[in-house]
Structure 1
Amino acid sequence: MDPGTARPSTVLDTAVTTVKRRARVRAPELVGRGWLNTGGEQISLKDLRGKIVLLDFWTFCCINCLHVLDELRPLEKEFEDVLVTIGVHSPKFVHEADPEALKAAVERYEVHHPVLDDPELTTWQNYAVKAWPTLDLIDPEGYVVHVAAGEGHVEALRTIIRELVEEHDEKGTLHRGRGPYQAPEPASTTLRFPAKAIVTPRNTILVSDSAHHSIVELEPDGETVIRRIGTGERGRLDGLNPTFSEPAGLTLVPGTNQVVVADTVNHLLRGLDLDTGEVTTLAGTGEQWRDGETDGPADKIELTSPWDVAWWNGGVTIAMAGNHTLSFFDPATNTVSRLAGTTVEGINDGPADGAFFAQTSGLAADGDRLWMVDSETSALRYLENGEVRTVIGKGLFSFGHKDGDADEALLQHPLGVTVLADHSVAISDTYNNAIRRFDPETNTLTTIATDVAEPSDALVVDNELVVVASAAHRLERFTAAAVKIDGAAHEVKRPSTDIAAGEFELAVVFTPPKGTKLDERYGPSTRLEITSSPPELIVEGAGVTTELVRALRINDQVTNGVLHVVAQAASCSDDPADEHPVCRLTRQDWGVPVRVVADAPTRLPLLMGGMDEDGQQGT
């Protein structure tokens, strides 16, 4: 997921830490620059009194935030007369603070609830949020009753909402009826937020039309539609009238008319026969991977948000954006296997099985080398001979628009990479609205096009560079002319957390949802993985254990770094009469920037779900 950042005490921190268990904590007011999906109306908590309110703190770059949007859809439908979901958009990248970019993202991802634009992170700080995504549940009288970070909390929320409905129905404090959501006027364009494109064997252009949930074949001019494959509705039907859900990456199987499609929100690889237009499912179960097997028969292995695909080394490499890994689909054996990555989010080079990635979103093969862009670390990297190397990129919290030597160059959330005829690469530098070119011979980065609306991919057609200008809903052609950019470097706004050197405790706070217990039937039900950048930050205690509390030793010779934390817990229904309890896995990861200083706290709690025994949020 997108990394969270611990911060100093805020309004909600102060309130929560002074109350006892089950004491009621008043929800802070919703403060921001403006609102979307309300017909121009401003909303206050007073306006929502009598409703159950779910605050979803998100940012549109974050794959886990997008997962939560999809998880919440059935919950919002089930409780539509009593539940009001409010998206609180708290941006990570500079581009995400642009109100027009946010407006486009709300449409792109079909956000069907009001959204508060919180560019200064005022509401984020007042609710003591530490990670994207975080969910706060507020009862009809305006009190915070539940907090959870990460994905996989829908069943816990469903249980709590049902209890709140019953309680406040009896008290007469629940108001049923329509909420404040007002749908904006729909737009009509041939393409809507196209994602990726390729040239077919017949020299036409195939485009994944993500917001229209379909694949479109265009004439070489990039404008004239030959055919649309897909009904335009979300779904996962195969056949001659197929459905997709936000498809993205495309790759040709060499020597055939077969295309492999990364059907991102369906967590599937789909096959497209260009001759007949028939669609089949090649890999994935349709369920999102959270834990478990990564290698095996293609129809038995779960995928997670495959964002791009590339034919490389006799098969299809998959950019598994949802868990920061690369996978490999072998059509000869009909199997899927983990190719690289550990699921820890960050930058770590070296042997593929130990590398860290950060939401890989673009792939391009050049012989034995596989180029990739990691959007969350704004990085250009490659895999070759079993080793991962970073060319551009400094970490989860550094980005910008700066040309020059690769060691100093900066990108901002790139989504696409394209190999050019001279073996240089064109980078779709999405949040800089630019196309960049990296030359491996000179180890330099230049800007070759600007003012491109969120480019997400590029391809070469008739010696011209054709760019998928996603937010402009079209393909655009460019004649490359370098423009020198020496922009400022940017850092994520949230400050580092001060921690003490020496003995230090990191604790993940997790309370099993009501009616469940930690599942110990087959061994430990929890897992905690802690690493750091640089690795020298942690002298002792890094690695994997089954306890959610870890004793560390922090190096007093390292002044700044990032703690990478991945936690998970399996909880099951606890009714003794249930022979087949329902079990669910909660998983969360953090990237916490830290500063090692004297007299700083010797303990860092991170909330994964629920409230702790004192009624606190773990802050």
Structure 2
Amino acid sequence: MRPPAEADILAPSFPGLARWVNVATLRMDKQLGRPVLVEFWDFCRVNSLRTIPYLQAWHERYADAGLRVVGIHASGFEASNDVDAVRAAVERLGITYPVLIDAELKAAESYGIEGWPSRYLWDKGSRLFDVHFGEGAYAETELAIQELLEIEREPVAPIRPEDEPGILLPAQSADQPGAYSGPYEAGGVWAVLSGSGTVRANGHEIAVTHPGCYPLIEHPHHTAGVLELDVPDGVRCEAVCFTPGIVPPPPLDAL
């Protein structure tokens, strides 16, 4: 989404004395002359996990052309609030672009983010050029990057069917706090887990070895179901989350 033409929004500075991964340190005022893509994320939020492959692909595609990709990790869960856990997650998820660990949420406050992920594209003069909240709009963001870099190429192909540009998705169930069991409608079910042990979701076992957001159930399309989640001693569940799915195909007798 482009900001209003009359808007002249300058990029906030990165917090001083911030801890970084994959780079010694960065200053926003030293990025003048290059576009900068900033995304706020949390490794315990499934919506953030689903955008990381696109951020990584843009970093690999456009870094040599001048794009700077910066991930700002702003925790929304206790399980993702540990600095060492963030560093481990960055390595586990294969992230190679710079990541600022916003443990005190100073960057999140300066940006005024309202959710995860929040994506901001700044032009070569550090002025806001494009913004998007939540999943999606991947092609739009990449085309905006190309516009700033004066490059034309085919955008990264959609990773999931629900990432197709312009697709309309049924609303999934709202996220639930704690170890939720009950009815839902979604394309997938995830849980924010920490500790060590094995949880059971509808009879399937999921080993918990590190804090993070774990997939419990994946459907090929939007599906109504009932979750039966068993969390043993030694494992903590902070939330159960739901991801969107495409509209199911019509029954054969309707064709």
Which TM-score band applies after superposition, normalised by the shorter structure? 0.5 to 0.7
Q: Provide closer, same or farther for how the CA distance between residues 388 and 34 of structure 1 changes in structure 2, counting only shifts above 3 A.
A: closer
SS, match of residue 26 in structure 1? coil
Structure showing greater Rg? 1
In the alignment, what sits opposite 2:217?
none
The counterpart of 1:47, out of the listed 13, 20, 30, is: 30
Taking only aligned residues, the RMSD between alpha carbons, in angstroms, comes to: 4.2
- Alignment correspondent of 1:158: 142
The answer to whether the 8 Å contact 2:43/2:49 transfers is yes
Residue 290 (structure 1) aligned to one of 162, 169, 193: 162
Change in CA separation of 1:22 and 1:345 when aligned onto 2, cut-off 3 Å: same
C-alpha change, 1:150 and 1:49, in structure 2 (3 Å) is same
Select which of 9, 31, 42 maps to 1:59. Answer: 42
Deviation track 1:486-542 (CA, whole Å, cap 9, x = no partner) reads xxxx9x9xxxxxxxxxxxxxxxxxxxxxxxxxxxxxxxxxxxxxxxxxxxxxxxxxx
Deviations, residues 182-215 of structure 1 (Å, cap 9, x unaligned): xxxxxxxxxxxxxxxxxxxxxxxxxxxxxxxxxx
CA-CA distance at 1:148 after TM superposition: 0.4
- Asked if the contact 2:10/2:128 (under 8 Å) is kept, the reply is yes
Provide closer, same or farther for how the CA distance between residues 346 and 376 of structure 1 changes in structure 2, counting only shifts above 3 A: farther
Contact 1:358–1:376 under 8 Å retained in 2: no
Q: Give the Å deviation of 1:23.
A: 2.8
Q: Verify the 8 A CA contact 1:57 1:133 in the aligned structure 2.
A: yes
The whole-number CA distance in structure 1 between the counterparts of 2:132 and 2:31 is 21
1:359 has 2:231 as partner: no
Corresponding residue of 1:125:
109
Instruction: Report Cα offsets for 1:52-84 as digits up to 9, x if no partner.
Output: 100010011112212211012222222112100
Deviations 1:459-485 (A, max 9, x none): xxxxxxxxxxxxxxxxxxxxxxxxxxx
CA contact (8 A) 2:184 2:227 kept: no
Aligned-partner Cα distance in 2 for 1:148–1:102: 23
Amino acid at match of 1:97: N
Q: How many angstroms apart in 2 are the aligned matches of 1:43 and 1:387?
A: 46
The structural deviation recorded for 1:146 is 1.0
Q: Which has the higher helix share?
A: 2
1:57 aligns to what SS in structure 2? Answer: strand
Residues 56, 97 of structure 2: 8 Å contact kept = no
Name the CA distance, whole Å, in 2 between partners of 1:129 and 1:49: 23
Partner of 2:123: 139
Shift of 1:20: 5.8
Q: If each structure's strand is expressed as a fraction of its own residues, which one has the higher value?
A: 1
SS of 2:5's partner is coil
Ranges in structure 1 where 5+ consecutive residues have no aligned partner: 1-18, 168-285, 293-322, 324-341, 379-385, 391-416, 418-424, 432-489, 493-563, 569-619
Count of residues paired in the alignment: 209
Distance 2:78 2:184 in 1: 32
Which 5+ residue runs of structure 2 have no aligned equivalent?
A: 152-157, 193-197, 215-224, 246-255
Q: After superposition, give the CA deviation of every residue in 1:14-55 in whole Å (9 maximum; x if it has no partner).
A: xxxxx96343211111116311111xx321111111111000
Q: Could you tell me how far 1:136 is from its partner in structure 2?
A: 0.4
For residue 150 of structure 2, give the secondary structure of its aligned residue in structure 1. helix
Aligned to 2:21: 36
State the distance in 1 between where 2:228 and 2:55 align. 37
Letter in 1 for 2:160: Q
Greater RCO, 1 or 2 (C-alpha within 8 Å, sep 6+): 2
3-state SS of paired residue (1:60): coil
CA contact (8 A) 2:36 2:70 kept: yes
Counterpart CA distance in 2 for 1:74 and 1:388 is 34
Indicate the residue corresponding to 2:250 in structure 1. Answer: none
Q: Could you tell me the TM-score, scaled by structure 1's length?
A: 0.29
Residue 60 of structure 2 is aligned with which of 72, 77, 84?
Answer: 77
